[in-house]
A and B are shown apart, each in its own frame.
Chain A
Amino acid sequence: MNAVFKALSDPTRRRVLQLLRERPMTAGDLADQFVVAKSTMSAHFSVLQAAGLIDAEKAGRTVYYRLKMSVLEDALLGFVQTFGWDMKPDPARRARAGGRRALKGEA
């Protein structure tokens, strides 16, 4: 269950799950939806696969990803999406906090 929480804690991975809710997609199609490097996306897919939330299936040279979530995991994703829950600190908030600290230091 810890792996599931870890997988759901990242907004990119949650977006991947949301996209897969509509239909199974290829790794390339999924990666095209994000502005991150393909290697980063590959790491995200690995985390989701390790948590048992997605399934990868090879068809020739193409890898298809599809959802493999139980009702409970699906409900948990919906809950996290609705109420927001990021284990990683928001980069924008971190930058603002850093700016405030810098200003305090100057004063």
Chain B
Amino acid sequence: MVRRQIGGSLLFAALMLGASWGLKQLVAAGVIDDPQFPQRVTMAIIGAMLAFLGNAIPKTLTPMAATRCDPAKMQSLQRFAGYAWVITGLIFSLVWLFLPKPAAQPLSVMVVLFGTLAVAVRISGRKRFTPAR
């Protein structure tokens, strides 16, 4: 399991670095006209990574005996966080792929801040967990 996680992380890192380096070489060689294209693709990959990590959040389970809160509320929170990060990651990717860079930069930061804030608000609303059995 851990080996698979490390493998996935290394694959993503290699994909990001490789795509960035490879596309820069293509721009330098004059194959790609748009000099912003490598940055756009790299940012889109980062967005995909956010969505990928968000997708896995509800599958990451803590043993019920070890949780200090109501398992139903914990599950609901994990599902919410998963959906929030998947949507955030997808919007982040789309913004970088289709909007001009001056608009994409602030908008993508706002999208991530909004996603983080939504999850934080949900967590703070769950402070009064009922104690576990």
Q: Which of A9-17, A65-73, A81-89, A90-98 contacts B (4 or more CB under 8 A)?
A: A65-73
| Chain B interfacial positions (CB closer than 8 Å to A) | 54-59, 61, 63-65, 71-72, 75, 79, 82-83, 86
Check A24 against B82 for contact (C-beta < 8 Å). Answer: no
Apart from A70-B59, A71-B79, A72-B55, 14 more pairs, CB < 8 Å: A21-B79, A23-B75, A66-B61, A66-B71, A67-B75, A68-B58, A70-B55, A70-B58, A70-B82, A71-B58, A71-B82, A71-B83, A71-B86, A74-B58
Check B58 against A67 for contact (C-beta < 8 Å). Answer: yes
Chain A binding surface, main DSSP class = mixed
A 17-39 to B, binary, CB cutoff 8 A, 1 in contact else 0: 00001111000000000000000
B residues near A55, Cβ cutoff 8 Å: 61
Check A59 against B59 for contact (C-beta < 8 Å). Answer: no
| Chain A interfacial positions (CB closer than 8 Å to B) | 21-24, 52, 55, 57, 59, 64, 66-72, 74
Check B54 against A68 for contact (C-beta < 8 Å). Answer: no
CB distance from B31 to the nearest CB of A (A): 34
Check A59 against B64 for contact (C-beta < 8 Å). Answer: yes
Check B79 against A74 for contact (C-beta < 8 Å). Answer: yes
Interface CB pairs A-B, < 8 A, 6:
A24-B75, A59-B64, A66-B64, A66-B75, A70-B56, A74-B58
- C-alpha gap A6/B94 in the complex (Å): 32
A residues near B61, Cβ cutoff 8 Å: 55, 66, 68
Check B71 against A68 for contact (C-beta < 8 Å). Answer: no
Which are the 4 A-B pairs with shortest beta-carbon distances? A23-B72, A71-B82, A71-B55, A71-B86
A residues near B55, Cβ cutoff 8 Å: 70-72
- C-alpha gap A69/B54 in the complex (Å): 12
B residues near A64, Cβ cutoff 8 Å: 64
- C-alpha gap A71/B90 in the complex (Å): 13
Check A69 against B71 for contact (C-beta < 8 Å). Answer: no
- C-alpha gap A69/B83 in the complex (Å): 12
- C-alpha gap A57/B61 in the complex (Å): 11
